[in-house]
């Protein structure tokens, strides 16, 4: 029953332990059965007695064997997983398919998140150009943070130096009004969105999202048990409909660069939204996912800085301003809710590495973060313009594009009877990634289009991908 290979990568002790454990769980060694003594087993297998003793002691520690002084090891009871030795009822129950929750079952029907295997492809939205990131500067920050780790006396879940450095940046460049300890550092922006939804929503509460809009908000709010309403856009963003029967508990918006149209919500609509939230008691999640990049003027101040009452949760991410591997998100919460949200962070495990937080704090405080953003703003603007020209040349009037005032991607609407999901699939087969507009529509409409990223791709890559797109459209 035991076959040990002396030329195996595993030690003889490990092989003997694993094989004895396997024989017990499969019922080949029955409960109550005595094993040979360590001396006998060692002789029969041509092993040292120490090797056998170590294996038996390990199995006894795991509960597979019972040991007593002067007696041979005994197989413990109730350890067999052999179906033939189970009762008919338990055997039938074990053979049935595991039942998942309704939330898990719904994942199979979800359009979000889009998953692309392999390396990123041209026009894939949501990506910064990692080739342009100052990796040498970042690696020095990481090394210093790692060396400083043993010197840290306290280890709060939200690292104070990062909170202070990030606040200094957000106050000046995004118009945020907050204190440092209102900033929570979370694994991703999506986890921050989930944290707010779980903390504010009861099952059946109403929540509003933009349509077209961000799929991550749709799935997070549904997972929290909300009744989600899709609010269509007009030229200024989410259309505030005060006559709707339901009163929202939570409203998700992307006012700096509406996702996916790229439109900027003007000040009048922002104030209208804030007044509506105040009147109805609703809270707002402001997702400022790539608000750092604005091309026609200074970035517009965040909605959170305009609010006269603490109803706005400001959400951001480092992955767009840096690159995809630095996926940390951050959440600015109302001051009165700091304690409960930090406790919620711990309860849900939405914690991040303090060493990484320390490295980010230095990266921001040194000016490297702002310097990189400024350089990328110039580069991404030129790439936006290059994509607009390339699409006009290759696709002609088959695509109608609207130049976004900022951000990292643009929306190209299809002219004529085109199935954007089929078009997106054909592009992917040809090596070009896109996202169909219809997959981001949450109200009934016949609009078709493609969501295309330009930030991560150089001029040559943009031109090549545009030619592929034009060829497939013809």
Does any domain span residue 463? yes
| 351 and 404 part of one domain | no
Does any domain span residue 98? no
Distances in Å between the Cα of 455 and the Cα atoms of 17, 61, 293, 307, 380 are 54, 56, 10, 31, 5
| 136 and 205 part of one domain | yes
Domain count, the chain: 3
Smallest CA-to-CA distance from 290 within 409, 182, 208 is with 409
| 363 and 284 part of one domain | yes
pTM of the model: 0.85
Q: Among 370, 394, 419, which residue terminates a domain?
A: 370
Instruction: pLDDT tens for the chain, 474 residues: list them.
Output: 788 988 888 999 999 999 999 999 888 999 999 999 999 999 999 999 999 999 999 999 999 999 988 899 999 987 665 555 555 555 455 546 788 888 888 887 777 888 777 889 999 999 999 999 999 999 999 999 999 988 887 789 999 999 999 999 999 999 999 999 999 999 999 999 999 999 999 999 999 999 999 999 999 999 999 999 999 999 999 998 876 788 999 999 999 999 999 999 999 999 999 999 999 999 999 999 998 999 987 767 899 999 878 999 999 999 999 999 999 999 999 999 999 999 999 999 999 999 999 999 999 999 999 999 999 999 999 999 999 999 999 999 999 998 998 999 999 999 888 999 999 999 999 999 999 999 999 998 999 999 999 999 999 999 999 999 999 998
| 152 and 289 part of one domain | yes
User: For 142-174, how does the pLDDT look when each residue is reduced to its tens digit (9 = 90+)?
Assistant: 999 999 988 887 789 999 999 999 999 999 999
Q: Among 370, 401, 420, which residue terminates a domain?
A: 370
Q: Among 370, 399, 424, which residue terminates a domain?
A: 370
Does any domain span residue 135? yes
User: For 132-147, how does the pLDDT look when each residue is reduced to its tens digit (9 = 90+)?
Assistant: 999 999 999 999 999 9
* Beta carbons within 8 Å of 29's beta carbon, 6+ residues apart: 20, 23, 35, 75
**CATH number for the domain harbouring residue 49:** 1.10.10.10
Does any domain span residue 115? no
**CATH number for the domain harbouring residue 134:** 3.40.640.10
Does any domain span residue 118? no
| 76 and 146 part of one domain | no
Expressed as residue numbers, the domain containing 36 is: 12-85
| 336 and 436 part of one domain | no
**CATH number for the domain harbouring residue 409:** 3.90.1150.10
| 348 and 396 part of one domain | no
Does any domain span residue 111? no
| 447 and 339 part of one domain | no
């Amino acid at each position: 029953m035991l076959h040990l290979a002396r030329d195996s990568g595993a030690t003889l002790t490990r092989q003997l332990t694993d094989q004895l454990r396997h024989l017990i769980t499969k019922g080949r060694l029955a409960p109550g059965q005595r094993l040979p003594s360590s001396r006998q087993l060692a002789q029969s297998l041509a092993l040292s007695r120490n090797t056998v003793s170590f294996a038996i002691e390990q199995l006894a520690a795991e509960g597979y064997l019972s040991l007593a002084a002067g007696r041979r090891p005994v197989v413990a009871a109730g350890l067999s997983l052999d179906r033939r030795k189970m009762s008919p009822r338990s055997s039938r129950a074990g053979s049935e398919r595991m039942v998942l929750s309704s939330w898990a079952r719904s994942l199979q029907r979800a359009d979000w998140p889009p998953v692309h295997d392999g390396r990123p492809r041209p026009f894939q939205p949501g990506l910064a150009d990692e080739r342009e990131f100052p990796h040498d500067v970042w690696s020095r920050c990481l090394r210093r943070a790692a060396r400083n780790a043993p010197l840290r006396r306290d280890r709060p879940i939200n690292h104070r130096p990062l909170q202070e450095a990030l606040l200094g940046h957000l106050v000046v460049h995004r118009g945020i009004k907050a204190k440092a300890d209102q900033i929570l550092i979370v694994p991703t922006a999506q986890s921050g969105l989930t944290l707010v939804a779980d903390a504010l929503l009861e099952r059946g509460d109403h929540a509003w999202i933009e349509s077209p809009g961000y799929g991550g908000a749709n799935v997070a709010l549904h997972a929290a048990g909300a009744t989600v309403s899709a609010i269509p856009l007009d030229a200024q963003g989410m259309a505030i409909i005060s006559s709707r029967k339901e009163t929202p508990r939570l409203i998700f918006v992307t006012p700096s660069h509406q996702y996916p149209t790229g439109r900027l919500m003007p000040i009048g609509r922002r104030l209208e939204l804030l007044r509506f939230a105040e009147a109805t008691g609703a809270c707002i999640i402001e997702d400022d996912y790539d608000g750092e990049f604005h091309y026609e003027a200074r970035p517009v101040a965040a909605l959170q800085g305009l609010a006269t009452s603490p109803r706005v949760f400001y959400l951001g991410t480092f992955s767009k301003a840096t690159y995809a591997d630095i996926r940390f998100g951050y959440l600015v919460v109302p001051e009165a809710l700091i304690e409960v949200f930090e406790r919620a962070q711990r309860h849900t495990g939405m914690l991040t590495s303090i060493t990484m937080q320390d490295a980010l704090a230095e990266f921001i405080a040194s000016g490297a973060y702002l310097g990189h953003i400024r350089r990328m703003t110039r580069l991404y603007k030129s790439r936006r313009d290059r994509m607009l020209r390339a699409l006009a040349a290759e696709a002609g009037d088959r695509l109608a594009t609207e130049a976004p005032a900022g951000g990292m991607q643009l929306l190209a609407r299809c002219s004529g009877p085109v199935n954007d999901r089929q078009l997106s699939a054909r592009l992917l087969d040809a090596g070009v990634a896109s996202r169909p507009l219809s997959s981001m529509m949450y109200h009934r409409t016949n609009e078709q289009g493609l969501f295309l990223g330009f930030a991560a791709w150089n001029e040559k890559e943009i031109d090549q991908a545009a030619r592929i797109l034009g060829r497939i459209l013809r």
